[in-house]
Structure 1
C-alpha cells in the first residue's frame, strides 16, 4: 500500500480536519452538479420525459443507498485495519467489498431489467411516461456497475486517508456528464438526438470513468486489491462484517427520504407557494450543508485509523475537535442565511409569498445546522465502533418518533413555521440521545 502524505494517527488533528474536508467539498459539489445538470437538460425535453425521470429517482436512490451502505462498512473496517497496520485485513476488506458490490450489480441488473414495467406501474408510471421510463432504465440498469463499484471504491480510498482522489473522481464525472448530456440528448454532428436515452448514456459514460479511475487507484497505486484465491471462510467472514455495518446504514438512507416525503406532503397542505418555497429553501440548504456533509465523510477514516491504532486520547481529540468544527461552522452559516435569506430567495423567484416562506425557513432551520453536524458525527462514531444498529435506531427515532410527529402537531398549532421548528427540536433531542449513547458505548469499546 502506498503511504499517504497525511498521517491520520500523528499529524495535528485540526490541520487534518481542514485538509481532508476541503477536497470533499468540491467532490460533493460535483455530485450536486451531476444531478442538477441531468434535471436541467431533461426538463428541456418537456413535461412527460421530466415526469418519467422523476419516477426513476426512488429506484436510483435505493440502489445508491445500498452501495453507500456497503461503502460505509468498507470505510469503517478498512480505516481501523490501517490504524492497526494489518495490511492483510486492508486487502481482504477492500477486495471483498468490491466483490460484494459485483454481486449486488448482478442482482440489480437481472431483477431490474425483468421488473421495469410492473415496478414502475406501481410507482405511478402511466401509458405516456412508461416508454420514457423503459428507455432510461434499460440503459441505466445496464450501467449500474459503474455506479456501485466506484461508490464502494471511493469509500475504500477515503479510508486510507486520501480524500483528494475521490473528490477529483466525482468532479471529473460531473464535468464529463455536463459535456455529454446536451450532446447525447439533443444530438451533435454525427450523434443523433436521443432524448431521455441520451441522458442515461451520458450518465453511464461519466460513471464508467469513475469506475476506471477508482479501480486503477486501488489496484495499481495503492495495491490493496488481491486477485489471489482466498479461503471461503475468510470471504464469508468479511462479507458478514461488511453487511453488518452496511445494511443498517443503507436502510437509514432509505428511511430518511421516506420521512422527508411525509414532510413534503405536509408542506403541500399550506399551498403551492409554500411548496415552491420549501423546494427553493432545501436547494439553498444543500449548498449550505456541503461542508458539514464533507466533514462527516472524512470523519470515519480519521476516527477509524486512530481507533485501530489504539490512540484513545487522540480519538477523543478527533471527536471533540470535529464537534467544535461542526458547531462553529453551523453558527457561521446560520448568521449568513439569517442576513441574506431574502436576497437568496429573490434569485429564484419574485413571488412575495414564496420569498417569505424561504426567508422563514432560512431564519429558523439554520439554528440547528451545528446540531445536524453533531448528529452525523455521533452516528459515524457508532458505525466505526461496530454499533451500526444503534446508529440506525437513533436515526429512525429522530425521523419517525420525533420529527414527523412533532411536525404534524406543531404545524397544527403554529402553521408552516411549526414544521421548521419541529426539525430543530428533533435534532436537539436526538443529539442528547446520541451523545449519551456514544459516551457509554465508546467507554465500553475502549475498555474491551
Structure 2
C-alpha cells in the first residue's frame, strides 16, 4: 500500500510539473470550491441557531466572530497555505524525506499556535469584547462561546494543518471530502448541543462552538490517520531525528508574512465598518451586506488559490520559475474574471443580493447597499486578482509583495475615506470610493511586482 501511495503521490507531482496548466488547475480547484461553499453554509447555520437562542446570543456571536474567523483564516489560509507550499516545494525538488519531516513540524507549529490563541483569549478575551462595545450580557455570551471554542481550537489547527499537507502532495479531493464531512457533521451537532435536540443537552451558547470543535476533532483524526498510514506516499521513518530549525523557518518565514496579510485585511474591514457606522444603523446594515458578499467571494478564490499554492510550490521547488509564473497568471486571471463578473452583475442589479435580506421599507439600508455595489463592485476583479496572487506567492515562498499590497490597501482605504468624507460632500459615497480605489491598488501592486520579476528576486 505504501509503495502504491508513493507512486500515486509522484504521479500527482509530475502532473503539477508537466500537465497542461488550465485543465489541471480546474481539476484541482473544483473540489476545494465546493467544500468552501459548504463551510459558508455551516457559518450561516450557526448564526441561525444563535438567533433561536435570542438577540443576546446573536449579538454575542457577532462579538466573537472576528476572532473565530481569524482562527480559520490563519490555520487554513496563512499558516495552512505556507505548510502546503513547503511540502509542495520539497516534493518538487524530489526530497520526499524533507516533505515528511515538514509534516511533523507543521503539527508542532499548529499545536503551539492553538495553545497561544487559547491563552490570549482566556486572558484578554472579555476585555476585547467590551472594547467592541458589547453590553454586560452580550459580553458574557461572547465569553461563554470563546471559552469553549479556543481551548478546543487545537482540533481546528491540527485538522487544517493536516489537510494542507495533503494538498501539498497535489491531492485536493481528500481535503475537500474531509471538509465537507466536518461541515455536514458540525451543523446538527451545533444545533443539537445549543438547542437540546434529541438526547443532546441544551447547552445554549456553549453548545454552538462545542459542535464545531467535535466535528473538527473527527476531521483531524481522519486527516492525521490518512497521513500517518502512508496514504499520501510520505514515509515517517526517522523524521524525528531529521527535524531541525530550518523546517520550522521554512513554514513560518512564509506563514508569518501571510498571517500579517490576513490581519491587515481584517483590520481594514473593521476600520471601514467603524467609519460607515457614523452614518447610522441603516448605512451600517447596507454596507454590512455588501461586505458579507465580498467575504463570500473568498471561498471561490481560495478554491483556485489552494490549487495554485501546490502547483506553484512544486514548480518553484523543481526550479521551473517560468512555469510557476504561468500557473499564477492563469489562476489569478480566472479568479479575477469570476469575481469580477459577479461584481459587475451586482453593480447593475444590486437588489439581486440586497432583496434577499431587506424589505422595500428599509430605504436607508437599501440606499447604502446600492451605493456600495454601484461604486465598489466594479473593483471586485482587482480584489480577486490580488488575493489569488497572494495564494500563488505562498507557493513561491515570496510574501513581501502581498504584504505591501495589503498594507497599501489599508492605508488608501482609511486615509482616502477620511479625506473624501472630510473635505468633500460625498458622505458615505466617499468611503465606498476609497474602498474601491484601495481594491484597485491592492490588485495592481502585486500583479505588477510579480510581472516585473518579484519571484526571481530573493524576498523575505
Q: Same fold (TM over 0.5)?
A: yes
| 1:404 to 2:404 alignment | no
SS at match of 2:431: helix
Distance 1:123 1:373 in 2: 29
User: Which residue of 2 is the match for residue 140 of structure 1?
Assistant: 149
Matched pairs, number: 444
SS at match of 1:226: coil
Distance 1:236 1:264 in 2: 41
TM-score by length of 1: 0.90
Deviates more, 1:349-358 or 1:327-336: 327-336
- Please tell me whether the aligned partners of residues 101 and 152 of structure 1 are also in contact (alpha carbons under 8 angstroms): yes
Do the aligned partners of residues 309 and 433 (structure 1) sit closer, same or farther apart at CA in structure 2, a change above 3 Å counting?
same
Distance 1:179 1:187 in 2: 11
| Cα-to-partner distance string for 1:249-284 (whole Å, 9 max, x where unaligned) | 112212221221110111112222211111222233
User: Which residue of 2 is the match for residue 300 of structure 1?
Assistant: 309
| Cα-to-partner distance string for 1:196-232 (whole Å, 9 max, x where unaligned) | 1211221111111221222122222115373646347
Distance 1:339 1:367 in 2: 10
Q: Which of the numbers 36, 49, 73 marks the counterpart of 1:41? A: 49
User: Which residue of 1 is the match for residue 240 of structure 2?
Assistant: 230
| Cα-to-partner distance string for 1:74-110 (whole Å, 9 max, x where unaligned) | 1221111121121011111111111111222344445
SS at match of 2:350: helix
Distance 1:10 1:268 in 2: 51
User: Which residue of 1 is the match for residue 389 of structure 2?
Assistant: 378
TM-score by length of 2: 0.88
User: Which residue of 2 is the match for residue 86 of structure 1?
Assistant: 95
Distance 1:331 1:242 in 2: 32
Do the aligned partners of residues 411 and 213 (structure 1) sit closer, same or farther apart at CA in structure 2, a change above 3 Å counting?
farther
Distance 1:219 1:210 in 2: 14
Distance 1:54 1:334 in 2: 26
| 1:96 to 2:105 alignment | yes
- Please tell me whether the aligned partners of residues 102 and 149 of structure 1 are also in contact (alpha carbons under 8 angstroms): yes
Do the aligned partners of residues 149 and 302 (structure 1) sit closer, same or farther apart at CA in structure 2, a change above 3 Å counting?
same
Q: Which of the numbers 26, 30, 39 marks the counterpart of 1:22? A: 30
Deviation at 1:124, TM superposition (A): 5.3
Distance 2:129 2:435 in 1: 32
Structure 2: runs of 5 or more not aligned: none
User: Which residue of 1 is the match for residue 447 of structure 2?
Assistant: 435
- Please tell me whether the aligned partners of residues 65 and 251 of structure 1 are also in contact (alpha carbons under 8 angstroms): no
SS at match of 2:356: helix
- Please tell me whether the aligned partners of residues 36 and 300 of structure 2 are also in contact (alpha carbons under 8 angstroms): no
- Please tell me whether the aligned partners of residues 65 and 253 of structure 1 are also in contact (alpha carbons under 8 angstroms): yes
Q: Which of the numbers 430, 449, 453 marks the counterpart of 1:418? A: 430
Distance 2:278 2:128 in 1: 28
Distance 1:148 1:197 in 2: 20
| Cα-to-partner distance string for 1:126-148 (whole Å, 9 max, x where unaligned) | 54345434432332233121111
SS at match of 1:9: helix
- Please tell me whether the aligned partners of residues 132 and 196 of structure 1 are also in contact (alpha carbons under 8 angstroms): yes
Distance 1:111 1:423 in 2: 31
Do the aligned partners of residues 398 and 127 (structure 1) sit closer, same or farther apart at CA in structure 2, a change above 3 Å counting?
closer
- Please tell me whether the aligned partners of residues 94 and 225 of structure 1 are also in contact (alpha carbons under 8 angstroms): no
Distance 1:149 1:85 in 2: 26
User: Which residue of 1 is the match for residue 208 of structure 2?
Assistant: 199
- Please tell me whether the aligned partners of residues 66 and 247 of structure 1 are also in contact (alpha carbons under 8 angstroms): no
Deviation at 1:60, TM superposition (A): 2.8
Deviation at 1:15, TM superposition (A): 0.3
User: Which residue of 1 is the match for residue 78 of structure 2?
Assistant: 69
Deviation at 1:331, TM superposition (A): 4.1
Pairs within 5 Å for 1:15-414: 15-67=23-75, 68-110=77-119, 112-113=121-122, 120=129, 127-220=136-229, 221-224=231-234, 226=236, 228=238, 230-231=240-241, 234-350=243-359, 351-399=362-410, 401-412=411-422, 413=424, 414=426
Do the aligned partners of residues 356 and 225 (structure 1) sit closer, same or farther apart at CA in structure 2, a change above 3 Å counting?
farther
- Please tell me whether the aligned partners of residues 30 and 173 of structure 1 are also in contact (alpha carbons under 8 angstroms): no
Structure 1: runs of 5 or more not aligned: none
Distance 2:436 2:120 in 1: 40
Do the aligned partners of residues 393 and 231 (structure 1) sit closer, same or farther apart at CA in structure 2, a change above 3 Å counting?
farther
Do the aligned partners of residues 134 and 354 (structure 1) sit closer, same or farther apart at CA in structure 2, a change above 3 Å counting?
closer
